[in-house]
A and B are shown apart, each in its own frame.
Chain A
Amino acid sequence: MELVCPAGNLPSLKAAVDNGADAVYFGLRNDTNARHFPGLNFNEKRAREGIAYAKARGKRVFMAINTYPRPEGWERWRQAVDDAASLSVDALICADIGVLDYANQHWPDLNLHLSVQASSTNYEALAFYHEAFAIKRAVLPRVLSLSQVQHVVDHSPVEIEIFGFGSLCVMVEGRCILSSYVTGESPNTHGACSPAQFVEYRETPDGLESRLSGLLTDRYGSNEQAGYPTICKGRFAVGENTFYAIEEPTSLNTLALLPDLHRAGVKAIKIEGRQRTPAYVGQVTKVWRAAIDSCLHDPEKFIATPQWNNILDQVSEGATTTLGPYYRPWQ
């Protein structure tokens, strides 16, 4: 079971490698990847440096080109694929059919992974990408229960990677346009959800407000900590109630499920968080390295220790975690 960790910049990449990641993933400094945030990601020079660092230590490097090019941007995505090939990354993580086809046609030796942004939740869809583009692995959206993950693994023609820890998208990735409904920019088109330039906090007599493009996403009491105004984590009114109608600010943490995921045949665990600090990446990687080693050593006796969970809780959104969709009652 491989541990795949986020690298938003070179220090994070090094932190991941130094703390036990088997593989790291990164993106370029443009809208070709789904963490297109200011000050984040790699130019060519940094990418070469990072890849050399990881490879010298026997680790693999994946590059994400996992947004959806529109005709006007096509050249940028094509160039990114060519760059990935010249950087000799171990795999390219893609979502768009046009991009996958280009990569498969022009760089047949380049390993392709299907990004979570491709929204593939069933083995028929995985078979399509496998037959069409010879993908080697797929990352599943965060919508399946544990037994559904097991079923997909049993019937999938390719390796399965799932999200183990980090910010929780409660929607099917690649098919959520809440962000562009409010701001005009979505993960699919611009590589960012609820982009920072649309975020505003206002002190008002009713408390601190968070807004996205002017739309009120939440209002905080004096004893509450304000969150980032991702639309799905806001408080809204439905019927008589005002509450977290979609999801609380919380992170996914599947540490307790590791033995089940291992038995299910899941090939890799992905840690979310290219936008987080190198310290975060280091801490989270270290915990997951220890947990995976312990699980592989003796899955029957595996226990997610309170110490590990404490560390993960401390770095989580809202300082709480959930098993998310893997645990059926969450749905």
Chain B
Amino acid sequence: MNSSPKLSLGPILYYWSRDDLFDFYSQAAEMAVDIIYLGETVCSKRRSLRSSDWIDLAIKLSETSDKEIVLSTLALLEAESELKTLRRLCENGRFMIEANDIGAVQIMTKKQLPFVTGPTVNIYNAATLKFLASKGLKRWVLPIELSKTTLQQMQLQRPGGIETEVFSYGRMPLTLSARCFTARSHNLPKDDCQYKCIDYPDGRLLSTQEDEPFLALNGVQTVSAKTCNLITEVSLLKQLQVDVLRISPQSTFTGQIVDAFHSALNGSTIKDLEKYMPLGSCDGYWHGNSGLSESNSHND
């Protein structure tokens, strides 16, 4: 029998205040998740929590709950100051690191320490998976645009001891740039962004000229306006021996979403999560289609 996949809370992709972050993680300690990823992955200018605060929070959560804590790292590394922060996190001495750039993989490999790769490390085939496994990879997140068909083939060739995690719920990170699009939308340069991201706890909506919600601007990152939702696929995810299902935190209802996935994994009725989403759902990538499309395979 396959054991049931674990649930994880991915890193918060958005800029939230210090109080909101602490509130969220005090609630997260009580949620039915097994793994919590902590840290800033999008913009080094966001400093509600500094790297030492994230490490302190990791210590606190690991001592007061039974969660596995992983420290997530920046995906786009441009400045030396960002590499310094990255090294400090990699040297925490206690928690595993989620590498979101090959730069982080290099640092962990040099230290001969195990690591997780996040969705922005491109693992598209078994040869890549095997190579990184030889360098200390313990768990990998399936890149966002890959399908269940690709995953199935990857699982067949997966090296022993490697865990697979699938981004199963949340607005999907689609791209990164040097340019800050939230600042641009306020006619501000990045160097004087006035921390506008803090006003958009789930990203700032971008629509087509026909008012079709399309993307959400999140600083230098762009995410999907629609929310990826694989709750109807949990039995297939189990069957494919996926080890971890990732839920990407949003500013509201994350606890309810975790509960719904937890129930679905335990065989209860699958709940409709649409009411918890900012703007509708999609599951196209999983089915090998355009990411924004939605299949009709609803169970409810």
Contact = CB atoms under 8 A, between A and B. Distances in A.
Interface in B102-145: 102-107, 109, 120, 122-128, 130-132, 135, 144-145
B289 interface: yes
Given A74-B125, A101-B127, A170-B177, A328 B191 contact: yes
Interface in A104-137: 118-125, 127-129, 131-132
8 contacts: A70-B153, A95-B122, A96-B128, A98-B130, A122-B77, A124-B102, A237-B209, A245-B206
Contacts of A128: 102-103, 105-106, 109
A176 B174 contact: yes
Contacts of A101: 127-128, 131
A123 B110 CA distance: 14
B52 interface: no
Given A124-B83, A245-B185, A238 B177 contact: no
Interface of B: 75-80, 82-83, 86, 101-107, 109, 120, 122-128, 130-132, 135, 144-146, 149-150, 153-154, 157, 172, 174-181, 184-185, 189-191, 204-212, 214-215, 217, 222, 224, 284-285, 288-293
Top 7 A-B pairs ranked by shortest CB distance?
A98-B127, A124-B103, A143-B178, A71-B153, A128-B106, A181-B291, A68-B124
Quick one: which of B144, B150, B290, B292 has the most chain A CB within 10 A?
B290
Contacts of A215: 208, 212, 214
Contacts of B181: 245-246
A142 B175 CA distance: 13
A278 interface: no
B78 A242 contact: no
Given A71-B154, A98-B131, A237 B211 contact: yes
Contacts of A221: none
A322 to B, nearest CB: 11
B178 A144 contact: yes
Interface stretch (A20-28, A85-93, A183-191, A260-268): A183-191
A100 B75 CA distance: 22
B107 A219 contact: no
Contacts, number: 213
Interface in A305-331: 325, 328-331
B200 to A, nearest CB: 10
Given A71-B157, A124-B106, A182-B290, A238 B175 contact: no
Contact of B175 (A118, A176, A189): A176
A239 interface: yes
Interface residues of A, number: 69
A148 interface: yes
A236 interface: yes
A226 interface: no
B126 A180 contact: no
A144 B290 CA distance: 30
Given A71-B157, A118-B102, A122-B83, 6 more contacts: A69-B124, A124-B86, A143-B176, A144-B178, A181-B145, A245-B181
Contact of A247 (B107, B150, B179, B289): B179
Interface string A181-209: 11110101100000000000000000000
B122 A174 contact: yes
A180 B189 CA distance: 29
Contact of A181 (B153, B178, B224): B224
A172 interface: yes
A178 interface: yes
A71 B102 contact: no
Nearest to A182: B290
Contact of B206 (A118, A170, A237): A237
Interface in A215-263: 215-219, 235-239, 241-242, 245-247
A102 interface: yes
Nearest to A186: B145
Given A176-B174, A237-B206, A330-B179, A69 B291 contact: no
A234 to B, nearest CB: 8
Given A124-B83, A216-B212, A184 B288 contact: yes
B122 A96 contact: yes
A97 B102 CA distance: 10
A177 B185 CA distance: 21
B211 A70 contact: no
A125 B189 contact: no
Contact of A325 (B79, B157, B179): B179
Contacts of B212: 215-216
A238 B206 contact: yes
B176 A235 contact: no
A171 interface: yes
